């Protein structure tokens, strides 16, 4: 890693990043006690995105939306932005999957 402790390569990122630091399933080794592969780290991130997506979808039913709006359209705008965040998380999961497919040399249509 460089002087600021930022990973430079995917291997450094994988061992220092979210899949290691306890976010989600985070662990440095797989079940066979071997270092995680790039694909395993990507799948960990995909699982984390899915968990955040689920929480964001649950926010659509928050008590906040039962209260009075401060201005017309406030709740609609809030819900629209939550759904936009959900769509971005879905896109992130899909793109990580495509990255895995390219890494394993599977043709992506």
The CA angle 101-104-106, to the nearest 5 degrees, is 55
In a domain? residue 79: yes
In the chain the beta strands, taken as DSSP E runs, fall at none
**Number of domain units in the chain:** 1
In a domain? residue 75: yes
In a domain? residue 4: no
pLDDT in tens, the chain (109 residues): 444 555 455 555 455 544 443 444 445 666 667 778 888 889 999 999 999 999 999 999 999 889 999 999 999 999 999 999 999 999 999 999 999 888 877 665 5
pTM of the model: 0.67
Residue with tokens 């995909």: 46
The first and second tokens of residue 90, run together, are 């879905």
26: containing domain:
10-103
Residue by residue, DSSP assigns 41-55 as HHHHHHHHHHHHHHH
In a domain? residue 5: no
């Amino acid at each position: 890693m460089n002087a600021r402790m930022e990973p430079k390569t995917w291997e450094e990122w994988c061992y220092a990043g979210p899949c290691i630091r306890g976010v989600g399933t985070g662990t440095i080794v797989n079940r066979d006690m071997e270092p995680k592969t790039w694909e395993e780290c990507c799948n960990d991130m995909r699982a984390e995105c899915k968990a955040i997506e689920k929480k964001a979808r649950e926010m659509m039913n928050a008590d906040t939306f039962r209260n009075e709006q401060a201005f017309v359209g406030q709740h609609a705008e809030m819900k629209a932005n939550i759904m936009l965040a959900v769509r971005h998380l879905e896109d992130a999961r899909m793109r990580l999957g495509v990255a895995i497919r390219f890494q394993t040399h599977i043709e992506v249509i």
